[in-house]
Structure 1
Amino acid sequence: MKKIRKATKEDMDSIYMMGFDVWGGNMSSEKYIAICQESSKYQKGTWYTLEDLNTKELLSSLIVYELSPSEDIIVKGIGSISTHLQSRKKGHASLLIKEVINELEQKESCNHFFLYSDIGADFYSKLGFIEIPYEKQKYKDSVCVYYSQSYDVDSISFEIPNYF
């Protein structure tokens, strides 16, 4: 059985290590964790994790940022999606993304979600994300995708957020 929950302070080093093989470069794991712990970017958002209740292992994680461009529009950014190497390709990240979006839609009436992907849009399109049109993309190495059950990407009347 798996459970999605907000991450605790005690979870963070394990969460940071989920992305070490991709984002750690040539640094030691200790240095990588120290950089993550000091990151103002990582302290700005709310971290969520998918936990295996039987083993207590954290399987996947992501961070959610507040991006609301005005008082009457609720916009969130989803980032730093990662899964432990041995747990990849088992649907953990997909489940986490879907459930976090569902929770934010229900509890906060949020209906605009952006995500910058370094792996392309295909993975996220299977979850209902739509690639922002090329002329509105802000970066060449990361593709911005959008998710909403209520709004079409062409109806967005606010600026696409910068990388978060």
Structure 2
Amino acid sequence: MKLNKPRPLTPLYRDNLILSPAEENDMPLVFLMGQDAWGAEYQTAEYLDICYQSEKYRSGIWLVLRNTNGTPISSAISYAIPGHNNSSWIGIGSLVTELNYRKKGYGLSCLSMLIEGYEKQQTTKGFMLFQDVQTKIYSSAGFITAASMGYKELPPNLLLRTHENNHHETDLILKKTPSYF
């Protein structure tokens, strides 16, 4: 399954938070937010080089959650996954929160605002992600395992969020087992 860049979202505002596409100057901080999870064994410069060279990271759109001071506090990457009859699904990856802001609900805010943005601004049939870390964030945002929806042959960490009346579209998109993103 090929991952593509979705159309960018316009900024979303909630409480004192703003979710918007990342700018080029945001990327070092965005990448470093996740170094402890995905690159702790690398020196900072080496880890940043790996991130900048990543085809996976270049294939999506990074979104950054900022507070009223403009400080980036959480981020995620989104991908367009082509569906049936020109529909699209959104793949979500690399959801992470800056170390000093963790355990305060910002990851869930970032994820829920991202979902809201794609549902309101684009024709999105559903969302999928792979759960790396055990957390309640994903279930709080309406994700359930693919296995619990009857897709037992798919990876156990594949989570989906779709409308109940969208079962046919889900069947079609999952015919090609999505690769990890």
TM-score of the superposed pair, with normalisation by structure 1: 0.89
Aligned residue for 2:75?
61
Unmatched 5+ stretches in structure 2? 1-15
Instruction: Tell me if 1:25 matches 2:40.
Output: yes
Structure 2 vs 1, CA of residues 152 and 136 (structure 1 numbering), >3 Å: closer, same or farther? farther
Aligned residue for 2:20?
5
Aligned residue for 1:137?
154
Using the TM superposition, give the Cα deviation of residue 69 of structure 1 relative to its aligned residue in structure 2, in angstroms: 3.0
Using the TM superposition, give the Cα deviation of residue 150 of structure 1 relative to its aligned residue in structure 2, in angstroms: 5.0
Amino acid at match of 2:78: V
Using the TM superposition, give the Cα deviation of residue 148 of structure 1 relative to its aligned residue in structure 2, in angstroms: 1.9
Aligned residue for 1:156?
170
RMSD after superposition:
1.9
Q: How big is each residue's C-alpha offset from its partner over 1:111-154, in whole Å with a ceiling of 9 and x where there is no partner?
A: 2100001113643112110111062323x6xx010012454668
SS across alignment from 2:171? coil
Percent identity of paired positions between Structure 1 and Structure 2? 29
Partner residue of 2:110 out of 96, 113, 132: 96
1:101 and 1:61 map into 2 onto residues whose CA distance is 13
Q: How big is each residue's C-alpha offset from its partner over 1:63-108, in whole Å with a ceiling of 9 and x where there is no partner?
A: 0011113333211100010111111011111011111111111111
Instruction: Tell me if 1:73 matches 2:90.
Output: no
The answer to whether the 8 Å contact 1:66/1:77 transfers is yes
Aligned residues: 160
SS across alignment from 2:110? helix
Using the TM superposition, give the Cα deviation of residue 17 of structure 1 relative to its aligned residue in structure 2, in angstroms: 0.4
2:62 and 2:124 map into 1 onto residues whose CA distance is 17
TM-score of the superposed pair, with normalisation by structure 2: 0.81
Unmatched 5+ stretches in structure 1? none
The answer to whether the 8 Å contact 1:49/1:61 transfers is yes
SS across alignment from 2:82? coil
Structure with the larger RCO, 1 or 2 (CA within 8 Å, 6+ apart): 2
